[in-house]
Amino acid sequence: MLRYLSIPHLLARRVAIEDVEIEGQRIRAGEGVITALPAANGDPAVFPDPGRLDLTRRASGHLAFGWGPHQCVGQQLARIEPQVVFSTLFRRLPDLALACDPQDLQFTEDSQAYGIHELPITW
């Protein structure tokens, strides 16, 4: 899910410290670079059939928490929280269900973080 629906759309801005060429695009020293996380996590050279949600797919290689020295310091907590929250929530509210058609959910497209505006539920 982290690869498929990356929470931040854009990662931190960086400045090239030397001239580099990436996929035929020259970036000169001193120029700014902004990475688009959904583009990286949807690269078909890295993730076969990237537009298909496959919860059994190996989760390695996605950039949802950054990479190298620029990794999210809270990533381990962010991985554990959903497991604890959802298992507890569904155990306590076994009849929990979406109270609308999934097609009616409105996703945020006007901010740096990805999500939905509201999640109507019933139990």
pLDDT in tens, 34-64: 877 788 888 898 888 998 988 888 777 888 8
Q: Which residues pair with 15 in a beta bridge?
A: 32
Dihedral angle of Cα 40, 5, 76, 121, to the nearest 10 degrees: 170
Could you tell me where the beta strands, DSSP code E, fall in 2-120?
Answer: 10-15, 20-22, 25-27, 32-36, 97-98
Instruction: Please report whether residue 101 resides in a domain.
Output: no
Dihedral angle of Cα 63, 66, 67, 68, to the nearest 10 degrees: 180
Instruction: Please report whether residue 111 resides in a domain.
Output: no
pLDDT in tens, 96-122: 999 999 999 998 877 767 788 899 999
Average per-residue pLDDT for the chain: 87
Instruction: Please report whether residue 112 resides in a domain.
Output: no
Count of structural domains within the chain = 1
- Please state, for a pLDDT cut of 70, what percent of the chain lies above it: 95
**Would you say 9 and 114 are in contact if contact means Cβ atoms under 8 Å apart?**
yes
Q: How much is the pLDDT for 20?
A: 94
pLDDT at 10 over 70: no
User: Domain limits at 20?
Assistant: 10-92
Instruction: Please report whether residue 116 resides in a domain.
Output: no
Regarding pTM above 0.95, the answer is: no
Interstrand relation of 32-36 and 10-15 (parallel, antiparallel or unpaired): antiparallel
Q: How much is the pLDDT for 99?
A: 96
Alpha-carbon span 82 to 80, nearest angstrom = 6
For residue 37, the one-letter residue type is L
